[in-house]
Structures are given as structure tokens and as C-alpha cells.
């Protein structure tokens, strides 16, 4: 009888996973964290098929494993027929041969494993009520399969690895220009997380694809990674970025104006890049970026005894000294954007939330209870800035003042999701964590996902 009950529970659990992966309950996986967002009432989101770039291999533009890169394209209509939004997908980096070899067996390193369809939500939605300014534009997601924010250019023959992010970027842009982007009267390059860093790196290059009469701007969502000291006094993210830059020869595609002043690893950090970008750029970032807290500020390597585990999984469990450390991180972020924010063409939306990637999720981009700064949701802020309706320099007050946040709470179970961000001390991929968002500071777990995590030792993906 017990066994029968267990079987029924497992069937129910796997049925839930199947539903969760459908159009109405889909998983977002950004930079090594599997973010499960429960479905909201209403019609399912637009699902857009994958297109592989057939001529890419002849140009050397291939994923880590040598397969063709790809993109998802939904054509614009009406007044947006000649407007283009290009979204660069995120998904971490690989910084060693071993981690890149692992990565090429995942959708972040091979088109063999990529989803054949992706949901277009948030800034990619085709519904005016969900995406008021960009819903009828030509909208594209360029898939990420190089492990260096679309910026590497090298190879390792012994490990059969192709580091061709720059060539993938160029091949994708050429393909889209051929599909009609060359006629664009306005264009926005966007990206989330590692893709948000890529949108900064490629912003001026994107501008150069169009005549001067075309309105061109760039948006970086959760891409403002700080060269910050971790809780042990080390530089976890600098070490990771240094490995990426050296392994994939990223310095070839970083601005010379930065390289003339700083080392290549420093020039891979957005805080040192933004002042070299001439094209109008908008930074959308959580002041307490959930990924950076997890993997840059308090990674396992810096906290082997797990003294930060409770705080990392739920900000409500942080003690006063941990909160002060996080406030110092926020202060560093605000200090690093001071010069950038002083120019009229730039835009800012830095909210005091424990979040990551807020433009692709409908609940954080534009919904009835979206995060706000001065009663302004993110979608309106970005739209006002792009269309020059107003200057947008929105910086939130410090935690815990904002009760509109959709904060991320991490489930304590280990995840079997194959995406990952960094490597552990023995150079093997770290376990990922499952995130469930909680409204404001309340711990409101999605009951189905929470039960699933209790029943199973991992999160299916």
C-alpha cells in the first residue's frame, strides 16, 4: 500500500514537471539557477520556433561543440514592422577546458540540446497589455552557446572546443539584416545576465550596423557584474572572468580604449566598459542581484562552512552584519554608475530587490503588481527612455524600503539542471539551486513546486 502511494505521488510529481515545462508553466534558467515561475491565469505565451543559421559553419560561427548557432524570430506588424528588438540570451560562462567540455553537452554549448521553441514573455511578448512599447516589433532571441558572452574567438583542438562567440554574433546579425533588419527605423539590443554583459560589449558594434538615421539603443538587464570582494576577502568573480578571457581570447573583441588603460579581465567587467560605450545604454539591475549574491559574493569556495547559506537562500534570514555586507555591495554598484548616470542619453533602473533578469519575466516586466520605483514599472521606464519621453534615472532607496519587489527565494534542494555558472575548487561544475520568487519579503512558495522539491532529490529540467 505504501509503495502504491509512493508511485502515485511520483506520477503526480512528474506530471507537475511536465505541466511546468509547458507554455503556461515554463522554466527560466539564467546563469546556472533554475527559476521556476508558476503559471498565471490567462492565455499561454507565444511560443517561437528555433531557426539554425545554415551558413554559419562556413564562417567559423559555431557553438562550443561545432554545431550551428540559432535564434528565435517573431516578425513585427503594424507600426512596429520596421522596428527590431534583439535579445541576447544569458546562461553563464565556462572558464576552463573541463567546464567548457561539460558545457558543450548542454543547450548552452550545443544546438543539439536547445529547446525547439521558446516562450516570448515580458519584453518579448506580442501582447500590448503585457509589453506596451515593443509588442509589435520584430523580436528575436539569439541563442547563447559559446560561454563567453558572445565575445570569444579561439579554439582548443585537443578538447574539440570552438570558442566562436564573436563569430556567432556576426553571423546572427548578418542573417537578421538579410531578413529585413537593414530597413529598421529603430532598433534595441537587449540581453539578460551574461547576455546583458554581451549587450554592453556589442552595443557600439550594433549601432554600426545601421545608418545614422536609425534610432539605436541598448539595454543591459542583470548584466552589471561587479568586480567585488567576496565574503572571504577574495575575488571569486574576477578569477572566473579571468579564466573566460584567457581561455577564449576575449581581449580581441574588447574596446581598445579600455585595454589601453586596464588589463583584459578588468575590461570584461561592465563597470569598466560602460564609459567606453558611445551608444545610448540603459542599465536595469537589482541592487542585490540574486546571482551575484549566490555565486560572486558568498560562493561555497568563500564560505566552506555554510555560514551564509540561510541568508543566500532567503534574504529575510540574513543577520545584521550580512545585511551590511549587502548594503556595501549596493553602495559599490551606485558608486560605479555615478559617471555613467551623469549623461543625458543613459538610463537607469536599479531597484532594491533580490532578483535577477527582470525584463524577460512577465511578472517583473509589466503586470498589475510589477516592481516599481516612484510608481513606475520597468516596462514604462525602458519605453520612456527609448522613445525620449522623459529622462529615466530611477534608483531605489535601500533595502528594506521597497515592498513591490518580486524577491527570489532559493529552495535548498540540489538541482540536476545542467546549466551552471562557475566551477568548484576541483574544477567540476557546481550544483545549481532552484529559485522560487516571493512577493516582497513574504515567503510565498509555489505549493506545487515546493511539494515537488520535497518529493524528489532534484528538479527536473
Q: What is the pLDDT of residue 42?
A: 66
Catalytic-role residue among 25, 227, 230, 289:
289
Give the total number of structural domains in the chain.
1
pLDDT of residue 412: 52
Q: Secondary structure of 326-363 in the HEC alphabet?
A: HHHHHHHHHHHCHHHHCCCCCEEEEECCCCCCCCCCHH
Closest to 358 in 3D by CA, of 421, 427, 309, 285: 285
Asked whether 455 and 55 are in contact (CB, 8 A), the reply is no
| 360 within some domain | yes
The partner residues of 429 in beta bridges, in order of sequence, read 423
Judge whether 356 counts as a catalytic residue.
yes
Position 1 in a domain = no
Question: 3-state DSSP call for residue 41?
Answer: coil
State the Cα–Cα distance between residues 291 and 283, nearest whole angstrom: 16
Q: What are the DSSP E strand ranges found in 205-278? A: 215-221
Q: Per the domain annotation, does 209 fall within a domain?
A: yes
Residue 84 is assigned to a structural domain of this protein: yes
The answer to whether residue 114 sits within a structural domain is: yes
DSSP 235: -
Tell me if residue 289 is catalytic.
yes
Rounded CA-CA distance 219/280 in Å is 9
Residue 302: domain span:
48-413
pLDDT per residue, tens digit, the chain (461 aa), is 455 555 554 444 443 333 333 333 333 344 444 444 444 556 899 999 999 999 999 999 999 999 999 999 999 999 999 999 999 999 999 999 999 999 999 999 999 999 999 999 999 999 999 999 999 999 999 999 999 999 999 999 999 999 999 999 999 999 999 999 999 999 999 999 999 999 999 999 999 999 999 999 999 999 999 999 999 999 999 999 999 999 999 999 999 999 999 999 999 999 999 999 999 999 999 999 999 999 999 999 999 999 999 999 999 999 999 999 999 999 999 999 999 999 989 999 999 999 999 999 999 999 999 999 999 999 999 999 999 999 999 999 999 999 999 999 987 543 322 233 343 333 434 444 444 444 443 232 332 322 222 222 222 22
**pLDDT for 43:** 80
Q: Tell me which of 125, 151, 190, 193 is the catalytic residue.
A: 193
Q: Residue 421 falls within a domain, yes or no?
A: no
Q: Is residue 445 part of a domain?
A: no
**Which is catalytic among the residues 72, 202, 356, 406?**
356
Q: What CATH number should be reported for the domain holding residue 392?
A: 3.40.50
Q: Which helix or strand (DSSP H or E) is residue 29 part of?
A: strand 27-30
Does a structural domain hold residue 440? no
Amino acid at each position: 500500500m505504501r509503495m502504491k502511494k509512493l508511485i502515485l505521488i511520483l506520477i503526480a510529481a512528474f506530471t507537475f514537471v511536465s505541466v511546468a515545462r509547458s507554455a503556461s508553466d515554463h522554466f527560466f534558467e539564467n546563469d546556472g539557477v533554475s527559476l521556476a515561475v508558476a503559471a498565471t491565469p490567462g492565455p499561454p505565451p507565444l511560443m517561437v520556433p528555433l531557426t539554425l543559421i545554415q551558413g554559419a559553419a562556413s564562417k567559423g560561427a559555431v557553438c562550443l561543440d561545432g554545431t550551428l548557432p540559432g535564434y528565435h524570430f517573431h516578425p513585427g506588424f503594424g507600426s512596429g514592422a520596421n522596428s527590431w528588438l534583439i535579445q541576447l540570451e544569458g546562461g553563464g560562462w565556462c572558464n576552463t577546458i573541463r567546464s567548457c567540455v561539460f558545457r558543450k553537452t548542454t543547450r548552452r554549448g550545443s544546438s543539439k540540446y536547445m529547446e525547439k521553441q521558446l516562450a516570448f514573455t515580458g519584453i518579448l511578448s506580442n501582447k500590448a497589455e503585457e509589453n506596451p512599447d515593443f509588442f509589435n516589433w520584430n523580436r528575436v532571441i539569439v541563442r547563447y552557446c559559446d560561454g563567453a558572452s558572445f565575445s570569444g574567438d579561439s579554439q582548443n583542438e585537443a578538447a574539440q572546443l570552438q570558442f566562436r562567440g564573436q563569430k556567432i554574433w556576426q553571423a546572427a546579425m548578418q542573417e537578421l539584416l538579410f531578413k529585413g533588419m537593414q530597413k529598421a527605423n529603430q532598433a534595441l539590443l537587449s540581453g539578460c545576465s551574461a547576455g546583458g554583459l554581451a549587450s554592453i560589449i556589442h552595443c557600439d558594434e550594433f549601432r554600426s550596423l545601421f545608418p545614422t538615421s536609425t534610432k539605436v539603443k541598448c539595454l543591459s538587464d542583470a548584466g552589471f557584474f561587479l568586480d567585488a570582494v567576496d565574503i572571504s576577502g577574495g575575488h571569486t568573480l574576477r578569477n572566473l572572468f579571468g579564466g573566460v578571457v584567457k581561455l577564449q581570447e576575449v581581449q580581441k573583441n574588447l574596446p581598445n580604449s579600455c585595454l589601453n588603460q586596464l588589463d583584459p579581465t578588468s575590461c570584461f567587467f561592465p563597470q569598466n566598459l560602460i564609459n567606453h560605450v558611445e551608444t545610448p545604454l540603459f542599465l536595469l539591475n537589482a541592487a542585490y542581484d540574486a546571482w551575484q549574491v549566490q555565486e560572486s559574493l558568498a560562493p561555497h569556495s568563500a564560505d566552506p562552512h555554510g555560514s551564509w547559506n540561510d541568508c543566500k537562500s532567503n534574504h529575510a534570514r540574513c543577520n545584521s552584519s550580512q545585511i551590511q555586507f549587502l548594503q556595501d555591495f549596493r553602495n559599490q554598484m551606485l558608486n560605479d554608475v555615478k559617471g555613467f548616470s551623469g549623461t543625458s542619453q543613459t538610463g537607469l533602473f536599479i531597484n532594491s530587490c533580490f532578483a535577477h533578469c527582470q525584463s524577460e519575466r512577465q511578472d517583473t516586466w509589466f503586470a498589475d503588481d510589477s516592481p516599481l520605483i516612484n510608481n513606475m514599472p520597468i516596462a514604462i521606464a525602458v519605453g520612456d527612455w527609448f522613445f525620449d519621453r522623459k529622462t529615466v534615472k530611477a534608483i531605489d532607496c535601500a533595502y528594506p524600503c521597497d515592498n513591490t519587489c518580486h524577491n527570489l527565494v532559493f529552495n535548498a534542494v540540489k538541482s540536476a539542471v545542467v546549466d551552471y555558472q562557475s566551477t568548484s575548487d576541483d574544477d567540476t561544475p557546481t550544483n545549481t539551486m532552484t529559485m522560487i520568487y516571493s512577493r516582497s519579503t513574504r515567503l510565498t512558495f509555489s505549493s506545487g513546486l515546493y511539494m515537488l522539491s520535497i518529493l524528489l532529490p532534484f528538479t527536473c529540467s
